[in-house]
Amino acid sequence: MDIIDGKCVRLSKGDYNTQKIYNELPLEVAKAFEAHGVEHLHLVDLDGARSQHIVNYKVLEQIASKTSLKIDFGGGIKSNEDLRIAFESGAQQITGGSIAVKDPSLFGQWLKTYGSTKIILGADAKYGKVAVNGWTEESTQEVIPFIQDYESKGVKYVICTDISKDGMLEGPSFGLYRTILENTDVKLIASGGVSTFEELPKLASLGCEGAIIGKAIYENRISLKQLEDYIIATS
């Protein structure tokens, strides 16, 4: 669930100019997910991602207090204060992307303090390089070595989005995920491009720990009933 101005939105390829509002009440969307057996919510503060601090923590607080969803929160977490706000607002995990590139010592400190089950590495790929600041800036770091380096420092969970696929409903980046899984032992969560239900078991067969689905649900490409049946069948 991506949030701008407190509303559920989706972008295409991370371009803020392509913003489309799907629902002005994120809590209602979260409750619908929960009602169909979804247990985990990936919540992204897109306003925070392109600013210097967390912004939409009230949305996090509302969903966390009124559902039992396990929320991992990302976007704008760039300081100890942001991290504190995220956890106090109800996040069970946080995803750090920009901070892991720009301030690796601070991210490493979080990893040591909170542990690898609480801190997720966000490794979002743009032409093979890690992108930061809401994907508005491309770093010089290659995705695979970036993940390998943090794996050696204790990272276990990685969310990887191929930005060229994100919001396009053209299918995930199977090749990228296969390469990551062949070269690391991380628990990989695939993100970006999921467009049909059939892609989910394919990602699972690759070895992905999970998959993030957003636009495909909003555009009725994948129904919540399909997800509910899949969750029951694979649990």
- Residue that is written with structure tokens 């204790």 in the block: 154
Q: Containing H/E element for 206?
A: helix 199-206
pLDDT at 11: 87
Q: Give, in words, the CATH class of 2-234.
A: alpha beta
Residues in the chain: 235
Residues of the chain scoring pLDDT < 70: 133-138, 166-168
Q: Render the burial of 96-110: b for 16+ CB within 10 Å, e for the rest.
A: bbbbbbeeeebbbeb
Beta bridge partners of 35: none
Q: So what's the pLDDT on residue 51? A: 86
The answer to whether the CB of 120 falls within 8 A of the CB of 159 is yes
Which residues carry out catalysis?
Answer: 2, 124
pLDDT in tens, 87-136: 999 999 999 988 999 999 999 999 999 999 999 999 988 877 887 765 55
| Angle in degrees, 0-180, between the axes of helices 57-66 and 80-88, rounded to the nearest 10 | 30
Q: What is the pLDDT of residue 131?
A: 79
